[in-house]
Each structure stands twice: as C-alpha cells, then as structure tokens.
Amino acid sequence: EVQLVESGGTLVQPGGSLRLSCVGSGFSLSNHAMHWVRQAPGKGLEYVSAVSADGGSTYYANSVEGRFTISRDNSKNTLWLQMGSLRPEDMGVYYCARVNSNKYDYWGQGTLVTVSS
C-alpha cells in the first residue's frame, strides 16, 4: 500500500526556520517527481515546490523562491522541505504529493505549520 507521511510541522515565530519531512512507503520514491502543496486555513490548495525523480531539478512558487529548499534522499525514501524566513502567510497544512503521469495520485495526511509570535 502506498503511503506518504509528513512530519515536522509546529509553531514557529515569524522569521524562523523549519524542516518538513515526508516519508514514502509501499513504493520507490526514486521513480517519481514529488511536490509540496500547502493549504492556508480555510483556503484552497497552493503549489509550493517540486523536485524531479533524481533530485537534479527543483522548482518553486514565486511566493517561496529564495526562502524554501526542497530536497530528497531516494535511498531513504524521504522528501524534505527546508523553510526559512517564515511569514504569517506561510501558515497552513503542508502536503507532500506523488506525481504519476502528470497528476497527483497520492497525498500525505499533511502537517500543520503555524507562524505566529
């Protein structure tokens, strides 16, 4: 059974840093591009970042470019999102999602990031 489990979300002060993790099981992460998608409280889904299957290419939404870094270790079936210079508007549930033939076929349960002083 394919599963994605995120962790690392917590309360952090504005300007702070946080690293989110996403561990995959039931499949080999190395075969898939992986994305982070977030959802602010009461709002819709928003693309955050993407990494190619081999980790060689990374992409970011304009809103997080220069502040967030996506990475992966396929040997550990793990994806990360290093978040820096956090702002209140970065608050929300962060999902990792598996890309399969141009669609998100599996999502994690999400991890909540709260940015507040």
- Mind giving me the DSSP string for 3-60? EEEEE---EE-TT--EEEEEEEESS-GGGS-EEEEEE-TTS-EEEEEEE-TTS--EEE
Geometric angle at alpha carbon 9, from 5 and 11, rounded to 5°: 165
- Residue choice 8, 21, 40, 45 for contact with other proteins (CB under 8 A): 45
Q: Which is nearer to other proteins, 89 or 117 (CB)?
A: 89
Check binding of 40 to other proteins (CB under 8 A).
no
Among 30, 59, 82, 114, binds other proteins (CB under 8 A): 59
For other proteins, the binding residues (CB under 8 A) are 33, 35, 37, 44-47, 50-52, 57, 59, 95, 99, 101-105, 107-110
